[in-house]
Amino acid sequence: MTDRSTMLPAGTFDGQTAIVTGGGTGLGRAIALELAALGANVVVASRKLENLEAVVKEIEAKGGRALAVPMDVRDPEQVARTLQVALEHFGAVHHLVNNAAGNFICPAEKLSVNGWRAVVGIVLDGTFYFSQAVGRHWIGLGQGGTITNIIATYAWGAGPGVVHSASAKAGVLAMTRTLAVEWGRHGIRVNAIAPGPVDGTGAAPQLWPTEEARQRVLRGIPLGRFGEAEEIAHAAAYLMSPYGSFISGECLTVDGANWLQRALF
Catalytic sites, residue numbers: 154
Q: Which residues pair with 146 in a beta bridge?
A: 95, 189
Residue 64: half-sphere exposure toward Cβ, Cα within 13 Å:
30
Q: Give φ, ψ of 188 to 5 degrees.
A: -100, 120
First to last CA, the chain: 38
3-class SS string, 199-258: CCCCCHHHHCCCHHHHHHHHHCCCCCCCECHHHHHHHHHHHHCHHHCCCCCCEEEECCCH
Q: Are 117 and 125 in contact (CB under 8 A)?
A: no
